């Protein structure tokens, strides 16, 4: 028995119908994805904020082992915006400590809704997570003993240099070392404090890290004058709060709050508090004016950054 062959018109109708169905399904899936984090927060009855332990003044422990800092304060403002969005005024915040190595995974694996620290937004990381509007722009430089003869990268040829694991600073240091054949002995450290200690204890000739973080570590040391931040800027590092990948609804809430903070002047007030006044736990003052690149970025705030 012969089977009737469908006409071209019938095939076209079938294909059109399937395409429409696929489009509807894709749109439904996208909506599900977009609402995922807000629904998750609502269902859990809490919002989890990931924070760092020693990224002064962005995100660190105070004397009572409570998370504090410029980025932490920004995330608390964002948490309040989420409370308003979900109409849950009593929504509590739960804090999750993370390291440079674990911070992105904490967001990608759904352990936290926001990572609030000193994390650079770059193309490689955007494959795994999303970022909001930058709240700081740093550059990678070197912390060395003030009495040291080290002034440039070339002065570190053959010497031990440390940088924190899981950071763009470590990647840049390795790249420069290979390109310039400096034969530096590059050693990753667990966190920023360990990197500073390596220099303080003469275990390393330099600690390569973002300049503002170096300034924070130097300011809280017993003898700040013993250390210097030297060398040309190796990179430009736009810091931003880390968000789950592909969640447009959640990102919209976060970005709208960041824009409000910028336009209202609240972000500037928070900056002044954390960078230009005495801060916990020991009353240190970084005396760090807002960098030109950050001032300019806040004039035209966007989460689209170069690499």
Report the pLDDT value the prediction gives residue 117, as an integer from 0 to 100.
96
CATH, domain range 139-235:
3.40.190.10
Give the whole-angstrom CA distance, residue 107 versus residue 192.
21
Give the whole-angstrom CA distance, residue 57 versus residue 276.
11
Domain boundaries along the sequence of the chain:
36-135+240-299, 139-235
Q: Under a CB-based contact definition with an 8 Å cutoff, are residues 82 and 40 in contact?
A: no
Write the pLDDT tens digit of every residue in 79-119. Answer: 999 999 999 999 999 999 999 999 999 999 999 999 999 99
Report the pLDDT value the prediction gives residue 127, as an integer from 0 to 100.
97
Report the pLDDT value the prediction gives residue 76, as an integer from 0 to 100.
98
Report the pLDDT value the prediction gives residue 27, as an integer from 0 to 100.
40
Mean pLDDT rounded to a whole number for the chain: 90
Report the pLDDT value the prediction gives residue 78, as an integer from 0 to 100.
98
Instruction: Name which of 1-5, 22-26, 249-253 the model is least confident about.
Output: 22-26
Q: Residue 221, Cβ neighbours under 10 Å: how many?
A: 15
**Which has more confidence, 148 or 26?**
148
Do the domains 36-135+240-299 and 139-235 sit in the same CATH topology, yes or no?
yes
Give the whole-angstrom CA distance, residue 112 versus residue 50.
6
Write the pLDDT tens digit of every residue in 37-53. Answer: 999 999 999 999 999 99
CATH, domain range 36-135+240-299:
3.40.190.10
Report the pLDDT value the prediction gives residue 176, as an integer from 0 to 100.
97
Flag whether pLDDT at 29 surpasses 50: no
Where residue 305 falls among pLDDT bands split at 50, 70, 90?
confident
Flag whether pLDDT at 264 surpasses 90: yes
Instruction: Find the largest Cα–Cα distance for the chain.
Output: 96
Where residue 252 falls among pLDDT bands split at 50, 70, 90?
very high
Q: Residue 189, Cβ neighbours under 10 Å: how many?
A: 22
Give the whole-angstrom CA distance, residue 257 versus residue 100.
25
Flag whether pLDDT at 61 surpasses 70: yes
Report the pLDDT value the prediction gives residue 35, as an integer from 0 to 100.
53
Give the whole-angstrom CA distance, residue 59 versus residue 118.
7
Give the whole-angstrom CA distance, residue 79 versus residue 73.
10
Q: Residue 7, Cβ neighbours under 10 Å: how many?
A: 9
Instruction: Name which of 7-21, 198-212, 219-233 the model is least confident about.
Output: 7-21
Please tell me whether residue 73 adopts helix, strand or coil conformation. helix
Q: Under a CB-based contact definition with an 8 Å cutoff, are residues 133 and 262 in contact?
A: yes
């Amino acid at each position: 028995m012969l089977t009737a062959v469908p006409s071209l018109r019938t095939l076209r109708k079938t294909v059109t119908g399937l395409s429409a169905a696929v489009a509807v399904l894709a749109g439904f899936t996208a909506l599900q994805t977009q609402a995922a984090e807000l629904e998750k927060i609502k269902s859990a009855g809490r919002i989890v904020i990931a924070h760092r332990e020693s990224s002064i003044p962005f995100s660190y422990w105070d004397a009572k082992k409570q998370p504090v800092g410029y980025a932490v304060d920004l995330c608390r403002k964002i948490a309040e915006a989420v409370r308003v969005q979900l109409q849950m005024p009593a929504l509590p915040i739960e804090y999750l400590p993370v390291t440079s190595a674990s911070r992105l995974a904490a967001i990608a694996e759904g352990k936290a809704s926001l990572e609030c620290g000193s994390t650079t937004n770059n193309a490689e990381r955007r494959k795994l997570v999303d970022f909001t509007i930058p709240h700081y722009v740093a550059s990678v430089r070197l912390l060395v003993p003030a009495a040291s003869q080290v002034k440039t990268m070339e002065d570190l040829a053959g010497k031990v240099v440390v940088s924190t694991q899981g950071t763009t600073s470590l990647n840049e240091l390795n790249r420069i070392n290979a390109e310039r054949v400096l034969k530096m002995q590059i050693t990753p450290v667990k966190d920023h404090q360990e990197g500073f200690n390596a220099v303080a204890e003469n275990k390393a000739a330099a600690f390569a890290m973002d300049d503002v973080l170096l300034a924070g570590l130097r300011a809280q040391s017993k003898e700040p004058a013993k250390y210097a931040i030297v060398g040309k800027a190796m990179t430009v590092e736009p810091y931003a709060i880390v968000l789950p990948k592909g969640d447009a609804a959640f990102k919209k809430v976060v970005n709208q709050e960041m824009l409000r903070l910028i336009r209202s002047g609240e972000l500037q007030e928070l900056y002044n508090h954390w960078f230009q006044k005495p801060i916990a736990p020991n009353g240190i003052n970084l005396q760090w004016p807002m960098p030109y690149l950050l001032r300019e970025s806040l004039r035209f705030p966007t989460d689209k950054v170069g690499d």
